[in-house]
């Protein structure tokens, strides 16, 4: 369809405005992480720092300061917790998702909805008892405890999204493999899973983002350097060192690097998978 | 090779043929679902029931022991507490304003991302940024921008001479609550836009061409073609965002810690304070169940919408 000059101008103006609104706050975070402390505390504010430096990043990656070592430990914890929760949830959920997609059994829809409802369950509803239970199991303040809890909300997500993907794979291919002598599980591993690779990737990445972003459970269940995750570390640092804005910004950006990298590199998979999973019944 | 496998081939069933096949499928399904059931319900069901149990007692410490039974006392206490209703009121305000703003901006953003212009791919990439930013980082970022003495918002607005002097954006309850709304809308609008964009892309072009031939302008075809076809998606986004917004905790924790004067305490934050700062686990459990009931209501609505959501052209 042809569009008039004025509507084209409107579109470009809107695009530039949108980009500015999205980029400006984040850009300010980047600038704050590079600026010298004095530049951040002057009035009127200097938007472009006089002596930008990467010193805070050097500190976070290799410095000995307590903030730096906390951030590093928390990043490692987050990476371990998120990766293990995703691996376990995928390993467990793929089979269930296949059952929902391909088999017919009693209470199928009810069971799927039950899983989905646990995914929607407000964490606060189980937080208090989980806390009391973890105290008794001596799993409080441990990565393992956190991984178990994360699996309980990533697995339903895997079931939901992956069953949608499996349903989208033509049955004929699987039937052909079974006629050639594959068992159901053989067909799952040799035919269905390789075909569902984009879906597997999207689901795993999205699960990783969910785990990386989780805050409430981590806040309550972890406290020591051995298990604290990065959102907890940042929230604590923001509360305690309310004036070291440069370091808050640097920590924030470092914590955002993994999710931002995933989101940009796998944009198409994630955005597509997200929309498909939410809208398809 | 083919000889040994011949009998199997003969039986290879199309799904669900015969009651025996169904029985087998049921058994296989149970087997396949068992690990998920263990992982999910093993971790969720017991705590969920225990929370219900805890909510009936005056539990005031994390250690096992005997606590006085109080029946529905904790629930009554919530319903009679002014703080509780204030927190509920703030939560509803937060939920309503973020959801409405995110849906409206989300639709507009999706329309923009669906329009044809140079650099569209770039804008589509940029839009992902807020969504991918961890919530806690988002909170810390806005808290820094809204800082009363050194914040970028104050600097920008005074340098543009919009406001005469620096303001304390997070200093009064009402203003602070609205600033949290801003932070949430900034982060979550892209998500709403992705959903709507996906729906937009499935609307066939001929519909617009037909409307154009019939003399309908752009505005007209938006309201009589686009919007009706987007309605199922918009409803789903509305309910999904409502559920999320109702649980809001991390943004509040990072930006204001519920202050000033408890003015940004949402219901989840209020529950957290009562249970973990004041060690009132029984009361906290009752509050948690009240929240869960609200969410359950939203969830049922969502499932109903999903069932109706399949659009046909």
pLDDT in tens, B193-220: 998 998 888 888 888 888 888 888 888 8
Neighboring chain A residues of B5 at a CB cutoff of 8 Å: 181
Could you give the percent of chain A with pLDDT greater than 90? 46
Main-chain phi, psi angles of B215, to 5 degrees: 90, 15
Main-chain phi, psi angles of B57, to 5 degrees: -125, 160
Asked whether the predicted pLDDT for residue A16 surpasses 50, the reply is yes
Residues A105 and A208 in one domain: yes
Q: Give ipTM to 2 decimals.
A: 0.91
Q: Print burial letters for B249-259: b (CB count within 10 Å at least 16), e (below 16).
A: bbbbbbbbbbe
Residues A216 and A183 in one domain: yes
Residues A24 and A62 in one domain: no
Strands (DSSP E) contained in chain A are none
Residues A12 and A85 in one domain: no
CA angle A42, A44, A46 (to 5 degrees): 70
Whether the link from the prior residue into A270 is cis, omega within 30° of 0, is no
| CA distances from residue B266 to A145, B88, B253 in whole angstroms, order as listed | 27, 7, 10
Residues A81 and A141 in one domain: yes
Residue contact B132–A259, C-beta within 8 A: yes
* Confidence at residue B61, expressed as pLDDT on a 0 to 100 scale: 78
Residues A201 and A95 in one domain: yes
Q: What is the mean pLDDT of residues A84-96?
A: 95
Asked whether the predicted pLDDT for residue A271 surpasses 90, the reply is no
* Confidence at residue A277, expressed as pLDDT on a 0 to 100 scale: 55
Question: What CATH number has the domain bearing residue A83?
Answer: 1.10.3720.10
Residue contact B309–A279, C-beta within 8 A: yes
Q: For B76-308, give the CATH class.
A: mainly alpha
Residues A38 and A124 in one domain: no
| pTM listed for this prediction | 0.88
How many domains is chain A partitioned into structurally?
2
SS3 state of residue A58? helix
Domain containing A66 equals: 57-279
* Confidence at residue B109, expressed as pLDDT on a 0 to 100 scale: 96
CA–CA distance, B38 with B34 (Å, rounded to integer): 6
Distance from CA of B283 to the nearest CA of A (A): 11
CA–CA distance, A142 with A222 (Å, rounded to integer): 7
Residues A30 and A102 in one domain: no
Distance of CA B169 to the CA centre of its chain: 25
CA–CA distance, A98 with A90 (Å, rounded to integer): 12
Residues A34 and A128 in one domain: no
Q: What is the mean pLDDT of residues A127-147?
A: 90
Asked whether the predicted pLDDT for residue A279 surpasses 80, the reply is no
pLDDT tens, B259-270?
898 999 999 999
Distance from CA of B136 to the nearest CA of A (A): 6
* Confidence at residue A1, expressed as pLDDT on a 0 to 100 scale: 47
Tracing tokens 């939203």 back to the chain, one arrives at B298
Q: What is the mean pLDDT of residues A41-69?
A: 86
Q: What is the mean pLDDT of residues A207-216?
A: 94
The total number of residues shown for chain B amounts to: 313
Please tell me which residue of chain B has the smallest CA distance to A146: B43
Asked whether the predicted pLDDT for residue A280 surpasses 70, the reply is no
CA–CA distance, A251 with A78 (Å, rounded to integer): 14
């Amino acid at each position: 369809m042809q569009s008039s000059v004025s509507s084209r101008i409107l579109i470009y103006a809107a695009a530039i405005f949108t980009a500015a609104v999205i980029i400006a706050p984040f850009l300010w975070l980047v600038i704050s992480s590079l600026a010298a402390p004095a530049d951040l505390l002057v009035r009127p504010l200097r938007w472009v720092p006089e002596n930008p430096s990467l010193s805070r990043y050097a500190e976070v990656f290799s410095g000995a300061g307590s903030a730096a070592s906390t951030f590093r430990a928390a990043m490692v914890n987050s990476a371990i917790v998120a990766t293990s929760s995703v691996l376990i949830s995928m390993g467990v959920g793929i089979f269930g998702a296949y059952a929902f997609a391909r088999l017919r059994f009693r209470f199928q829809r009810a069971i799927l909805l039950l899983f989905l409802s646990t995914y929607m369950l407000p964490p606060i509803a189980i937080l208090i008892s989980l806390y009391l239970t973890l105290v008794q199991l001596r799993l409080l303040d441990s990565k393992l405890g956190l991984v178990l809890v994360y699996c309980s909300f990533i697995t339903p997500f895997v079931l939901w999204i992956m069953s949608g993907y499996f349903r989208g794979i033509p049955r004929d291919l699987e039937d052909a493999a079974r006629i050639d002598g594959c068992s159901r599980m053989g067909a799952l591993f040799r035919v269905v899973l390789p075909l569902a690779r984009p879906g597997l990737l999207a689901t795993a990445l999205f699960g990783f983002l969910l785990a990386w972003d989780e805050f409430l459970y981590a806040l309550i269940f972890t406290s020591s350097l051995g298990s604290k995750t990065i959102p907890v570390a940042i929230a604590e640092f923001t509360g305690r060192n309310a004036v070291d804005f440069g370091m808050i910004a640097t920590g924030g950006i470092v914590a955002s690097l993994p999710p931002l990298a995933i989101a940009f590199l796998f944009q198409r998979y994630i955005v597509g998978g997200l929309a498909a999973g939410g809208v398809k019944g | 090779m083919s000889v040994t496998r011949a009998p199997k081939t003969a039986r290879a069933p199309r799904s669900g043929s015969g009651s025996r096949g169904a029985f087998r499928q049921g058994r296989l399904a149970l087997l396949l679902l068992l690990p998920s059931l263990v992982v999910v319900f093993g971790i969720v069901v017991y705590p969920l029931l225990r929370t219900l149990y805890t909510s009936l007692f005056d539990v005031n410490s994390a250690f096992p022991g005997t606590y006085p039974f109080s029946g529905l006392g904790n629930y009554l206490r919530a319903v009679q507490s002014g703080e509780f209703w204030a927190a509920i009121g703030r939560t509803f305000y937060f939920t309503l304003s973020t959801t409405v703003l995110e849906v409206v901006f989300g639709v507009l953003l999706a329309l923009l991302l669906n329009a044809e212009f140079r650099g569209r791919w770039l804008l589509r990439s940029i839009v992902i940024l807020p969504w991918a930013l961890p919530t806690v980082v988002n909170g810390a970022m806005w808290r820094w921008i809204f800082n009363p003495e050194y914040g970028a918002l104050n600097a920008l607005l005074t340098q543009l001479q919009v406001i005469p002097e620096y303001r304390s954006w997070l200093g009064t309850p009402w203003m602070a609550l609205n600033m949290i709304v801003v932070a949430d809308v900034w982060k979550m609008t892209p998500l709403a836009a992705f959903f709507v964009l996906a729906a937009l892309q499935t609307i066939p072009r001929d519909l617009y061409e037909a409307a154009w031939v019939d003399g309908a302008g752009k505005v007209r075809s938006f309201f009589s073609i686009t919007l009706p076809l987007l309605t199922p998606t918009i409803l789903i986004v509305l309910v999904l965002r409502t559920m999320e917004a109702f649980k809001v905790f991390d943004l509040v924790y990072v930006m204001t810690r519920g202050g000033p004067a408890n003015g940004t305490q949402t219901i989840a934050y209020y529950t957290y304070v009562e249970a973990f700062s004041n060690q009132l686990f029984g009361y906290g459990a009752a509050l948690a169940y009240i929240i869960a009931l609200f969410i359950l209501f939203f969830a049922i609505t969502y499932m109903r919408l999903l069932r109706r959501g399949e659009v046909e052209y």
